[in-house]
Amino acid sequence: MNKNHEEFMREAIRLSIQNVDENGGPFGAVIVKNGEIIAAGVNRVTSNNDPTAHAEVNAIREASKKLGTFDLQGCEIYSSCEPCPMCLGAIYWARLDKLYFANTKQDAKEIDFDDSFIYEELELSIENRKIPTTQILREEALEAFNRWRDKTDKIEY
């Protein structure tokens, strides 16, 4: 393993420990481009009253703002823990080149950060999920999709 990889992971771990000491969740992440940390994030769910304020999402937001782009190709993310489904989705949407993680989702489950129910929900049909879900006004909503499809000056993502 490249020494730099270990140094970057140690920084994500350091952030996770510091965040616990400051009453945040035990998660940290850094984003690296060209061998330099360009962004960092910690779990701010309770301090920000934002259920999406996970370490990886916060790091992605910071990197995107710093680089002025939603496309983070050429960057890698180091997370103190295997990402949850939301963060993993964000990592894919951000187009990060590579993901490194330390703790596993099983390690997280053992301290009551259990995301397995989300993975299970995704496998169910919509009508069998825990949150009642109803589709309405599809025909009206398709107008936006049709306009997007036909738009010639759109920024693809």
Tell me the C-alpha distance between 81 and 3, whole Å. Answer: 19
Residue 46: in which H helix or E strand, if any?
A: helix 45-48
Q: What is the DSSP letter of 131?
A: S
Residue labelled with tokens 């002025």: 68
Decide: 31 and 98 in contact? Cβ < 8 Å.
Answer: no
Tell me the C-alpha distance between 87 and 84, whole Å. Answer: 5
- Tell me the β-bridge partners of 32: 37, 76
Helix, strand or coil, per DSSP, at residue 148: helix
Torsion of CA 102, 43, 16, 80, to 10 degrees: 10
Q: Measured between alpha carbons, how far is residue 94 from residues 126, 131, 156 in Å?
A: 27, 27, 13
Catalytic residues: 56
